[in-house]
Amino acid sequence: MPPLDDLFSLPATTDLRRRRTTAIHRVLGTNAPASTPLSYALAHHWLEGAEAAARSADGTLLAWYRHATASDTARLRTDPGDKIPIVVNPKPEQLHRSALAATPYYVINPETTPASPPALEQVRNGLASAVSAGFGTLLRDHAPIICLLKRKTLHDTLLSWTITRLPGTVFTDYTNHPVVLARDLIHEAGHNWLNDALAACHVTIPDDRHFYSPWRATKRPAFGFLHACWAFPLTVLYAARVASTAPAEVRDFLTAHLRPQAEQLAQARDSFQIAITLVDHDDLRRRMTEIFATAVSITAAQPT
């Protein structure tokens, strides 16, 4: 398998970001900024916020979203030269729910403030762990905005998600352990990567094919099944690479993560071989197959 940074570098997604960023700013009536992963993610926040402001007839807020610039987000960085993503920590009551989906989300707005310095430090250390394991390109390009949600312990259920309307944004609970935060950032950035890759490669997954997903213990549409077969193997690769050097409590947590993954990947393997044929793009199909096969090999070698 090639280095992970090479595997996550897909030129077509760079073109997709540029086109979509330009199109959104054209709709907003503003000049598009230089195309970067952050400007792409922010453009979708501006579009989502502008639509909500227009629906509520809030002219002041609509004007802010239409003319938001880099200076409006510079305040979200405690250090202007900091290279880590924009990190915010919204309160639960600040999350929105769309009529289209129940998944809560947060949109950057004029009142948004940066996360606290300790939270920023945890993200910084988590990113360092991800970079050391080969996931730097993935997080740089597909998680430039991080919404930290609830602080929990390793014994709690950790929730994380992305939504297609806000590509490049990751929502996640977090603990006191940056190595664990990195795992969840990788999982969700993987979803963002695959959404962009499918769109950039003009791949449409038919919605009439379903496969049993051991991660959900139910049949899922091929699109969701393939997402699981991509994002969970990424966490396997990460956990296997960092577990041995992690503190004892975190090592036990990551090892416990790998055990069920072995069974779930084995259960999904035959269905994956069929579902991946629905990805009608040779290069993208190859990348997804390599990640899945590598994760299967890793988990198969783990002690039970």
Q: Is the pLDDT of residue 79 over 70?
A: no
Pick the residue with more confidence: 120 or 300? 120
With 0.85 as the threshold, say if the pTM is over it.
yes
Binned at pLDDT 50, 70 and 90, residue 77 comes out as confident
Q: Is the pLDDT of residue 80 over 70?
A: no
* Residue 123, φ and ψ in degrees, nearest 5: -65, -45
pLDDT tens digits, one per residue of 229-267: 999 999 999 999 999 999 999 999 999 999 999 999 999
Signed CA dihedral, 208, 211, 214, 215: sign only: negative
3-state SS of the chain? CCCHHHHHCCHHHHHHHHHHHHHHHHHHCCCCCCCCHHHHHHHHHHHHHHHHHHHCCCHHHHHHHHHCCHHHHHCCCCCCCCCCCEEECCCHHHCECCCCCCCCECCCCCCCCCCCHHHHHHHHHHHHHHHHCCCHHHHHHHCCEEEEEEECCCCCCCCEECCCCCCCEEEEEECCCHHHHHHHHHHHHHHHHHHHHHHHCCCCCCCCCEEEECCCCEEEEHHHHHHHHHHHHHHHHHHHHHHHHCCHHHHHHHHHHHHHHHHHHHHHHHHHHHHHHHCCCHHHHHHHHHHHHHHHHHHHCCCC
Instruction: Tell me which residue has tokens 């305040």.
Output: 75
Q: What is the pLDDT of residue 302?
A: 75
